[in-house]
Structure 1
């Protein structure tokens, strides 16, 4: 079977420049790589043909011999002669060397973006979380609060560089500042984080005694935080640049404050609305009257109870709820009646209640209606 023309394999013309040939090779190598064509049984053979073509055309002398004699230049001692490994296809070591030209293009997304992509001279500090518990009154009014945050801050002794006496970090001799090293494994070149500089690309010969070369130290900071009115449990406040200091002069992270509003002994919150359960006596619910209830702003409101009120009845006080976090006025406050049954009755009280019950047979419409339905239900079951 005759070999295909090398220029045709790469898809370039005979007068193509070395840059054009290399670009065409990279495109073809990525397209035909066996790892990307597991469903194509011919991919590996085509991939080898492309590498064979590039191995010849990238070398000026071998390219000239091929242009003059074609494939015959490497089959009988003509032209540039055969390459080690037999035939026109390069041996394993040469192939791995050629394949490293496209290593970054094939795996750059997974290994940090290609040559030099793994270098991390200065890294951003981590974000921090602080849980802050406030009362319902504080959530209603808003407040300015000072918190103490344990975190890492830039070392003052070395100005965050990690080097003693104002000296500068030097380029890592192992990876030449790239932050990664490569090792040959068969046909493949594997890239790993440099063990000497741990991916930083630089090393510190004379580390700072205060921070041991890290460029930051542990310290507790006092921060003043503005808690706006209307916050509720789950509200998150971001303080830009107040997180952990970056490594070796890198930018700091952010501080996120998560709000938790404590339960209140009187009020229950539902968004912008408040609920208040108020116990009332049987006589007050039956006769009606006025009661005085507290409000979250510290004030008092007088509420009129209609005569004959039942347990669970609600009355609304407009604008007496919580403020909106981003404006929009206030919610409402709902008063819910809890009719209380008296306990520990005296003998005289029991007599009066029994007498009252006899006189109240026509004053309990809900009970009368319910037991009428029960009587009809039982009669229907008998039928």
Structure 2
């Protein structure tokens, strides 16, 4: 099977799995009150359901990426979706907070294995000049979850029961596992001699700069996004429906940003696209105190935020994959780890800013977030200037699907 034959039907399939995982990642925040009430736990204690998921993902993504790096990608994807499905079934059946936390750890393990493997598969099945777009389609599944999956999952929990959301995700994971098993060709990355060789690119200073860049701009963005209800209160007057509309605007433009980032990466290369998107994100965050005062300006701000935030991901993944395709799963896992570490860290730091910032704490969320995005811009510039004496890969090492004659 050639790249062209495999790419068109398979990449959207991989995006559906990413959609399920993205929904699972972010929907919990919307169902926490129901979970806390049903399990007779405090809201603060129940908040660990989200935190444990993100931390588990951040820790396990590079570990699982290294351990499974030599395995065929289809098998890895089916395994990850199976674990994800079992974890959601266990979540739906949980009758206590401890059981739910354990189930979320299992679910996070499946999610941490899936996203890097799906991105690596999409890159391997795509022609080199379309690699950015292929990765963007997979990441678009994550973006779509923010405006479609999360609101629907939250509504389902409110209308039926919070366990219904996890049953839905378990069903979606099972369908995706069957579809991947039957619809994805074998994808084998060029095998490195051993674990030490696969880990070697992780010591490349370009990888360190890329990971730090992701950590910086994700932390900066989630300083404010975690507390978006408070940030947009002047524009929404505390109305939940208005806030949902603004989040929908963010989500729609986030999907657009992912697609724009992928196409622009294929046309101009990853570095210019990354620098432009991170700089744009910093500008959006620093102007939050100005755009949050009215509904019209808040819509413009949320649209710009969605585009700039998600346009960062395709060039970042492209840069990492290009450093060493043989270690692609590990390097993409490091990026995923930095993403989820940034989500957790942004929420934590944002809480401290609100706690100690007084009356201007909400405005300072954007200012601190912009400063961290600026740090990400500096590390991205540094990474772009670095060169290694001996590149890890050459054209002959580009990954191809099994059976590809070229």
TM-score interval, smaller chain: under 0.3
Task: State the TM-score, normalizing by the size of structure 2.
Answer: 0.20
Task: State the TM-score, normalizing by the size of structure 1.
Answer: 0.21
- Largest Rg, 1 or 2: 1
Q: 1 or 2 for the larger relative contact order (CA 8 Å, sep ≥6)? A: 2
Higher helix share: 2
